[in-house]
Structure 1
Amino acid sequence: MKNETQIIVGFILILSFGIVHGANDLLLIKKINGENSMTYLKTLLHYIMIVLVAVLLFSFIPWLAMLLFILVSSYHFGEQHWDKKIIHNTILITKLFHTVYGLFILLLLFQFHEKEVNAILYGITGIHFTFISIAALLEIIGFILVALFFYNFKTSKVFQKIFAVELLYLVVFAIIFKIGSLIWAFAIYFIFWHSIPSLFEQIKFLYGGFSNTNLKAYLKSAFIYWFVSIVGIIVLYFLLKDYKIFDSIFFSFLAAITFPHVIVIERMFTSKNKKTE
């Protein structure tokens, strides 16, 4: 597949499944809070405030916003991938493992596309991050991940059963990241190992189970939010397509709406897991 085709396919996947999987946050908030309208309103206001704070951070302290975005996204990826697969003794170890696993995935991607990643980071922050060795960071995080894998192997029988498969996944990720363009490689991971599994979990949480009927209900509920987002991105593209700042604004927009989404999904998992205990 040609690089241009990979980029087009990658953006199509991100703008479809990627945005849809985060388009029902308000419905999830309502489900989590039950019939308490005041609690729902309070949570909604917090949601909006987080988006606004993220926008302000990207406007005035972009390097800090990017650092937080990478760490929060790492935790989010790890949480989605490992929910109910392992059992830990403490919440701290669970959150650490989720973050380290997700960060390892992102650094692995960054390592194979270092020039492109640095260009995007410079466009957003105005800082050249060439003084930071992604390879060195990957080695450090990889060492911590190995230690956590060993800990989980010793403490979780469930982890022991899936250990070989999880290692195979990491090899598959490395191959995909190596042979694909940055956008395509990220899209393949983001859609097939994150967004689609997340959609499945959200539908089960909202409607009590997964079925074609419930999938249609989810998509119908998410359509307006998804449509507005797509129209906004298209308008932004035609206004700024001849400017280098488009990529920066596009990724900043995705980052800003990611922060509250991560919090909503964490609350969903917490609520879901309490009911199954």
Structure 2
Amino acid sequence: MSYQGLYRIILILSFLCLWVSTRISEDWENGLGLVLILSIGVIHGANDVRIHLNKSERSTKRILSFILKYIVVVLLGTVGFFLSPQITLGLFILVSGYHFGQEHFEKYQLPASWKNNLFVAAYGLLILLMLFKINSSQSLNVINEIVSMKITEQQLYYALLATCVILVATGAYQLRGIPLKTIAKELLYLAVIFIIFNTSSLLWGFAIYFVLWHSIPSMYTQITFLYGDSNQSHVWSYIKYSSLYWIASLIFLGVLYFFLQERTQFLLTIIVAFLGGITFPHVFVMDKMIKKA
């Protein structure tokens, strides 16, 4: 399957998710969103060991060493949300923005430079800030609870505006060799994502983007990197290798939801801290993979 075919499927699934949101309550949206994020979303980082270490490097010692370092970074990132929430949340948003943008534009193989880094980071930040601004009442409650300070909707607006300016300025340079038809498709994708965020709750909107628009294309890229192509047998091999992480994430989801189902705000805070912890080492691994490809 080509990237073009993959994004056709993503568009179809996106509108299916929008239809589902008209048929279920917000509580069900949040529950389904958590299932998607902590299963498919988490699984897309389950092969980081294999991606980071070449086949010749996969000795037991190197694997255990990498896993130990990975766990330490995850724990430090998670704990950081409670020890220094302002700094950790800021880093998480910046790193996540860079990661989302880098993964999305990797298929175009744009020339590496600081301008490209700024462009992909601005794209990813646009996605996140657009989600936060559209769902400002929910997002600001979560953000202000984490950082213990007052961030306003106006500040979100100015941050979004500045990000748009940077994106347009850097994009005019970085995308100068990309056909106008392709750029039009990218604008269409942004419009669809805007519609998703505008018609969904904060958690459901993020889940649709994170799973469909980020995790699935990322898994496609990873499978191609690991196996050379993305045929059915390779997809199943990737899933089987990730099955332990799948089960662990579902157990984590079940326990978390059981104890915190009446405390939605605190539940979202814990989810953000957990995702932040696993994001930091994953971004490092994927950055290395993209530069190898």
TM-score w.r.t. length of structure 1: 0.88
| Counterpart residue identity of residue 143, structure 1 | V
Bigger shift: 29-38 or 134-143? 29-38
1:100 aligns with 2:122: yes
Aligned residue among 236, 239, 244 for 1:216: 236
Q: Which residue of 1 aligns with 2:287?
A: 266
Q: Give, as a single letter, the amino acid of the residue that structure 1 aligns with 2:147.
A: T
Structure 1 residue 38, shift from structure 2 partner:
5.2
How far off is 1:37 after superposition? 5.5
> What are the equivalent positions in structure 2 for 1:119-268 lying under 5 Å apart?
119-130=141-152, 133-154=155-176, 156=177, 158=178, 160-243=180-263, 244-268=265-289
Deviation at 1:253, TM superposition (A): 1.0
Q: Secondary structure at the match of 2:46?
A: coil
Whole-angstrom distance in 2 between the partners of 1:152 and 1:160:
13
How many Å separate the matches in 1 of 2:159 and 2:198? 18
Tell me if the contact between 2:80 and 2:88 (Cα under 8 Å) persists in the aligned partners.
Answer: yes
Query: RMSD across aligned C-alpha pairs, in angstroms?
Result: 2.1
Contact 2:116 2:170 in 1 (8 A): no
Change (3 A) 1:120 1:200: same
8 Å CA contact 2:81, 2:273 repeated in 1? yes
**Could you tell which deviates more after superposition, 78-87 or 94-103?**
78-87
> Which residue identity lines up with residue 99 of structure 1 in the other structure?
A
What residue is the counterpart of 1:87 in the other structure? 110
Answering whether residue 47 of structure 2 is matched by residue 47 of structure 1, we say: no
Query: Which runs of no fewer than 5 residues in structure 1 stay unpaired?
Result: 273-277
1:160 deviates by 4.1
8 Å contact 2:103–2:218 — kept in the other structure? yes
Q: 1:33 to 1:57 in 2, by over 3 A?
A: farther
Aligned length: 269
SS in 2 for 1:133: helix
State yes or no: 1:64 paired with 2:64.
Answer: no
Tell me, yes or no, if the aligned pair for 2:39 and 2:249 is still in contact at 8 Å.
no
Q: Per-residue deviation at 1:165? A: 0.9
% identical equivalent positions: 38
CA distance in 2, matches of 1:270, 1:36: 23
Structure 2: gaps spanning 5 or more residues: 1-21
What is the CA distance between 1:39 and its match in structure 2? 4.7
TM-score in terms of structure 2 length: 0.84
Q: Give distance in 2, aligned partners of 1:39 and 1:94.
A: 32
**Over 4 Å off, 4+ runs:** 35-42
Compute the displacement of 1:132 (Å). 5.5
